[in-house]
């Protein structure tokens, strides 16, 4: 059953669809705004958009999967973004990313089944002096070593 907050979001989605319905190429902005609204564009949201815009589900799904900016499942409470830009890479970012993957038991791009953590690799975060760098939501962690990974996760689990 959809709860109240979710119902309100679908009402907002109706307004978004209405706003872009007559635009050629309106699908992209609707998808972007839907993602801002829900935090992801899962199958239920895709179906709703397809119906609202008179598109097929495969058209919507095609856009959702083609563009890396769209998340097909809800992201975790904490999104861990490990920078894989050049400076971070040469300072060992891969080993840090692998450690997170090992501890969380998920591949890069996935979310833990308890919904707590999403692990992703990202481009240069603009803090190369702190390489290797990662962010967890709005927190920036610099000069991270694989040995620190377990401790960092513990802090967020509390
Ligand atoms: S390469 Fe990682 S912050 Fe720039």
Q: Is the CB of 37 under 6 A from ligand 1?
A: no
pLDDT over 90 (residue 6): no
What are the backbone angles phi and psi of residue 40, rounded to the nearest 5°? Answer: -165, 170
Q: Which residues 6+ apart lie within 8 Å of 61 measured at CB? A: 46
For the segment 115-140, what is each residue's pLDDT rounded down to a tens digit? Answer: 999 999 999 999 999 999 999 999 99
Q: Report the length, in residues, of the chain.
A: 158
**123 and 84, same structural domain?**
yes
- Say which residue, 3 or 11, is predicted with more confidence: 11
CA 89 to ligand 1 centroid distance, Å: 8
pLDDT at 3: 78
pLDDT at 68: 77
**153 and 86, same structural domain?**
yes
For the segment 16-41, what is each residue's pLDDT rounded down to a tens digit? Answer: 999 999 998 999 999 999 999 998 89
**94 and 61, same structural domain?**
no
pTM of the model: 0.67
pLDDT at 67: 86
pLDDT at 2: 55
Q: Considering only CA atoms, which residue is closest to atom 1 of ligand 1?
A: 85
CA 73 to ligand 1 centroid distance, Å: 27
Q: Is the CB of 76 under 6 A from ligand 1?
A: no
Whole-number average pLDDT of the chain: 93
Question: Which residue range(s) make up the domain with 30?
Answer: 4-66
**53 and 87, same structural domain?**
no
CA 25 to ligand 1 centroid distance, Å: 34
CA 91 to ligand 1 centroid distance, Å: 10
For the segment 49-75, what is each residue's pLDDT rounded down to a tens digit? Answer: 999 999 999 999 999 988 878 888 888
Q: Which residues 6+ apart lie within 8 Å of 136 measured at CB? A: 78, 79, 80, 81, 152, 156
The answer to whether 55 and 94 are in contact (CB under 8 A) is no
**56 and 117, same structural domain?**
no
Domain annotation covers residue 71: no
């Amino acid at each position: 059953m959809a709860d109240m907050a979710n119902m309100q979001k679908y009402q907002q989605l109706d307004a978004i669809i209405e706003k872009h319905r007559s635009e050629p190429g309106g699908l992209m902005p609707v998808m972007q705004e839907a993602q801002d609204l829900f935090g992801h564009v899962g199958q239920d949201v895709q179906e709703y958009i397809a119906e609202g815009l008179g598109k097929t589900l495969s058209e919507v799904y095609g856009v959702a999967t083609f563009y890396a900016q769209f998340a097909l499942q809800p992201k975790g409470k904490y999104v861990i973004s490990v920078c894989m830009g050049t400076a971070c890479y040469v300072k060992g970012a891969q080993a840090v990313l692998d450690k997170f993957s090992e501890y969380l038991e998920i591949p890069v791009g996935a979310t833990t089944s308890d919904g707590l953590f999403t692990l992703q690799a990202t481009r240069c975060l603009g803090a190369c002096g702190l390489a290797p760098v990662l962010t967890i939501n709005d927190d920036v962690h610099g000069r991270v070593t694989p040995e620190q990974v377990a401790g960092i996760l513990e802090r967020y689990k509390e």
